[in-house]
Structure 1
Amino acid sequence: MAAKFGTSGLRGLVGDLTDGTASAHARAFARHLGSHAMAQPGSPIFIGRDMRASSPEIARQCAAAVRAEGYVPVDCGVVPTPALALHAMGRGAAALMITGSHIPDDRNGVKFYRPDGEIDKTDETAISALAPEFLGQTLPDAAPMQSEHDKVLDAFVARYRGFVAGEGLHGLRIGLYEHSSAASEALARILTEAGAAVIRLGHSHRFIPVDTEAVSDETRRLTAGWVQSESLDGLVSADGDGDRPLVVDETGSVLRGDALGLIVARHLGADAVVTPVTSNSGIEDHCDARVWRTRVGSPFVIAGMNAALEEDMRRVIGFEANGGVLTGNVIESSQARLAPLPTRDSVLPILCAFAAARQAGQSLSAHVASLALPVAASDRIENFPTAQSQQLVVRLSGDAAVCAGFFATLGTVGHIDRTDGLRVTLEDGRIVHLRPSGNAPEMRVYSEAGSLADAQAVIAATMALVKQSAGDQIR
């Protein structure tokens, strides 16, 4: 049972999920719901999936698992994760999303939703403890399931109807990089209803792992080329399950996810912002909201949002450096009234980016520049053994002298933050952050500096140091 919970849901290689591990966790989830009176047998559990080749089989196995516990699996097909969560919460029911999000097609995962939203770390611990009991059990296939795909998608589109004030997005040419995202159809409909001319580009029947936090050079070249060739005012996309946005401005530059989150918070007048330590250090200085910093992962952001709600904050916004935005309160904007959605959503930051820029009479690039955030960058070392990345961070975090020696070629270490991974502020103000990924064998590297070139140089130098420390263990 090599699959395990990461920063957001169960993750692992396809073979480590289809061997019965995914279904064992689905059955454990159903048992956990009943034992804690969160849902009762006989009630529905909605099941959605992304476009990975393995997702239909994992969905089939999970449907059989929840039926074995007396629940009624409902097939929602390929839909965005936030759409599935919204639909299930509106029905007071639980849900399972079969997705590996942005990671490669040889991996997959399962996201779990209680009737009130995403599971938390306590739920993960309980599910993990129950799952081994169900491993190796043969289950009959679930009976033919009722489909609610169209209802899920229609409700999600309706959520954002009338959200953009005034003339909406009329007059804008917006590219939509569809690739294999579960959000492509919803985004096309929502943007078109808002008045934009949507140019659909790059649809793929083969799964393409688009990571909105560490955008590949290939994706940057592809999207920038479309912006120029199609004379676009901007281009949008989302990751595999549609909960992380990708926004490219009219110059072809990719906008950072934490900048999108800040735009949402300012545009909606948030009085509380919850975001991980990996988000830009300038967030606090560039919005009027009180800011909570957390570890990376939606469960930690949601826990911070709950803390803000307990203090009676009237408009609580959460976001991560990948751009996914969560809402804790009812939000009214123009003609729309958005129910709380405490799970990552790619649509809200996309709409707010264009709406805020239009309201300010600016292009996307000019509006982001006006935020005056410190320059930040991020990248990753792929195929980096998780255990090794964790050991390196522990070693550097636990010994100040070792840490100082490791970063000596970059500068003098001034401050260390161990909230999540190792975040080092050098005495000259530059920041470098090492964090082992919770979803894949990768080392994430973040930086802030006086210029983009400097931030990228810090990342390149740090990645070289990490690889050097790993020796020949890096493939």
Structure 2
Amino acid sequence: MAGIGIHELMIECGVAFGTSGARGEVVAMTDRVCYGYTQGFLTYLAEQGEFGADRRVAIAGDLRPSTPRILAACARAIRDLGGVPVFCGYVPTPALALFSFAEGIPSLMVTGSHIPADRNGIKFYRPTGEVLKVDEAGISRQIVSFPADAFTDAGALAQDEVLPPITDVEAAYAQRYIDHFGSGALTGMRIGVYQHSAVGRDLLAAVLSALGAEITLLGRSETFVPVDTEALRPQDIELAREWTENGEFDAIVSTDGDSDRPLLSDARGSWLRGDVLGILCAAGIGATSVVTPISSNTALEMSGKFLRCRRTRIGSPYVIAAMSEEQLVGSSIVCGYEANGGFLLGTDIAGANGSVTRALPTRDAFLPLLVVLANRDLSIAQQLEKLPQRYTFSDRIAPFPPGMSERLFELLKAGEEEDQLALQTQLFGHFAGEARSIDLTDGVRATFLSGLVVHLRGSGNAPELRCYTEGDTEVIAKEANRLALDQVQSMFSEA
């Protein structure tokens, strides 16, 4: 079969490919598509001199039903290019990244993160870090080819690909945190572990136990549960409250599907927002420079805890690029976090007993959870009380087709700044008041004289519209979010 460009393959199959990797509906992510994207990634790395003599490529996946099939297609692509797939099993994304960075080899993680099981994805890593925006164009222009008679008309491999024996990467990832905090750091704490279908559910429990905590396993599921740390399901909120009703736990912990985004509740079962957890973790490690997307809580700057604060577009590649710039200006401890709670460590930090915890510039769930839990001077509630009282809430409209999203943002961005502010006041003034400033870093983020913030953004991972709101109380932020989404829906229902 003649070769095809990655860009053309993307149009043909409808599976988006960008710096977050490939992600789409499982029915569209055929073996042929997954094979082609893997080959495109590796041929790009070969151009860059990063897929050379060693030829090893580390691969792993989450617990969705479609993951083993996609892993097999990726392994076949690696082998057909003369590579050696190193199968690391079904493990947290940061555990795979830690291994591949240490070994200096490329890697890929088959995961759809928090989205439902009818979708999946592949996240790609260079030997030294995440694929960034500068790499996206290079991968998209690659021409890939497929072996004769390897695929059926439906895009499935003609024969099954057998994955190699598992290479253990979990032990080193767990030891990283045991060394950093010390074996008795959580002695006396009672922690519930909400397991659902998170790929790191057992490893997280093992690390907590090794640090001395008394753990109780909760809510394990053998079917995939799409836990989104930015937009929690009502049942997840209710479960935490039920589990903490009788005062048994100091905290409940969990992660999303591929265990790179954390969830932490206080003793009353109230889940912390990821951007607030990020502030607590950054303060806990003594960060001097903190990078976070524009959607995160402004308590970061208001806290006065950090010498430098940087805001970026939403997505870990933007956070990582800004973290690199912060290192160049000489900041001693650089970190970043996203509104989903994923924490990125840009520089080495000191651990217990003289240990050094190496940088891990990709989303991690374990570090922020453990930093906050290991603060034995203050409970989680007390740590929260010491922050400026600003509250964020996020929700979404799904489905919200890309075409509809384009029309919305064309309207919101039309004209000069004064026109945009006037439109924000017109749309949201009935609950937010007059708009005083607007930020177009990523989507449209308006700040109102009342102190409310309304931020609308199309999702890069799914056909949905995200809405982030911020206010002086949790009730205000949540109600503002509902009213903002109602307003958007009414605009299109009337169209």
Q: Normalization by structure 1: what TM-score?
A: 0.94
SS of residue in 1 equivalent to 2:438: strand
* 1:36-59 CA distance string (max 9 Å, x none): 101216521011000001000000
SS of residue in 2 equivalent to 1:225: helix
Relative to structure 1, the CA distance from residue 432 to residue 146 in structure 2 (aligned partners, 3 Å threshold; closer, same or farther) is same
Aligned to 2:198: 181
Aligned to 1:28: 40
Relative to structure 1, the CA distance from residue 434 to residue 6 in structure 2 (aligned partners, 3 Å threshold; closer, same or farther) is farther
Aligned to 2:381: 365
8 Å Cα contact 1:3/1:10 also seen in 2: yes
1:8 shift after superposition: 2.4
SS of residue in 2 equivalent to 1:409: helix
* 1:425-460 CA distance string (max 9 Å, x none): 112221111111111111111111121111111101
1:374 shift after superposition: 1.2
Aligned to 2:3: none
**Which 5+ residue runs of structure 2 have no aligned equivalent?**
1-12, 152-156
Aligned to 1:462: 484
Alignment of 1:30-429 (within 5 A): 30-40=42-52, 42-130=54-142, 138=150, 144-149=162-167, 151-164=168-181, 167-229=184-246, 231-286=248-303, 287-335=305-353, 336-356=355-375, 358=376, 361-399=377-415, 400=420, 401-410=422-431, 411-429=433-451
1:309 shift after superposition: 1.4
**1:55, 1:444 → 2: CA distance?**
26
**1:114, 1:137 → 2: CA distance?**
30
Residues 1:450 and 2:472 aligned together: yes
Aligned to 2:455: 433
In structure 1, give the amino acid aligned to 2:448: L
In structure 2, give the amino acid aligned to 1:108: N
**1:136, 1:368 → 2: CA distance?**
60
In structure 1, give the amino acid aligned to 2:165: S
1:132 shift after superposition: 6.1
In structure 1, give the amino acid aligned to 2:369: I
1:187 shift after superposition: 0.5
Relative to structure 1, the CA distance from residue 7 to residue 398 in structure 2 (aligned partners, 3 Å threshold; closer, same or farther) is farther
Relative to structure 1, the CA distance from residue 135 to residue 459 in structure 2 (aligned partners, 3 Å threshold; closer, same or farther) is farther
**2:121, 2:108 → 1: CA distance?**
10
**2:66, 2:359 → 1: CA distance?**
31
1:145 shift after superposition: 4.2
Relative to structure 1, the CA distance from residue 390 to residue 338 in structure 2 (aligned partners, 3 Å threshold; closer, same or farther) is farther
SS of residue in 2 equivalent to 1:429: coil
The count of corresponding residues between Structure 1 and Structure 2 is: 469
1:367 shift after superposition: 1.2
**1:343, 1:387 → 2: CA distance?**
31
SS of residue in 2 equivalent to 1:70: coil
Aligned to 1:14: 26
Indicate the percent of aligned positions where both proteins have the same amino acid. 40
In structure 1, give the amino acid aligned to 2:200: A
Relative to structure 1, the CA distance from residue 70 to residue 467 in structure 2 (aligned partners, 3 Å threshold; closer, same or farther) is same
* 1:123-143 CA distance string (max 9 Å, x none): 222222226655998367686
**1:166, 1:73 → 2: CA distance?**
34
1:29 shift after superposition: 0.7
* 1:297-346 CA distance string (max 9 Å, x none): 11111111111112222211010010000111111121342111110000
8 Å Cα contact 1:379/1:446 also seen in 2: yes
SS of residue in 2 equivalent to 1:329: coil
In structure 2, give the amino acid aligned to 1:425: T
SS of residue in 2 equivalent to 1:274: strand
Relative to structure 1, the CA distance from residue 440 to residue 403 in structure 2 (aligned partners, 3 Å threshold; closer, same or farther) is same
8 Å Cα contact 1:6/1:438 also seen in 2: no
235-244 or 264-273, larger mean C-alpha shift: 264-273
How much is the aligned-residue C-alpha RMSD, in angstroms? 2.0
In structure 2, give the amino acid aligned to 1:355: A
Relative to structure 1, the CA distance from residue 137 to residue 97 in structure 2 (aligned partners, 3 Å threshold; closer, same or farther) is farther
Relative to structure 1, the CA distance from residue 462 to residue 20 in structure 2 (aligned partners, 3 Å threshold; closer, same or farther) is same
**2:380, 2:262 → 1: CA distance?**
15
8 Å Cα contact 2:183/2:211 also seen in 1: no
362-371 or 54-63, larger mean C-alpha shift: 362-371
8 Å Cα contact 2:187/2:214 also seen in 1: yes
1:5 shift after superposition: 3.0
Relative to structure 1, the CA distance from residue 415 to residue 137 in structure 2 (aligned partners, 3 Å threshold; closer, same or farther) is farther
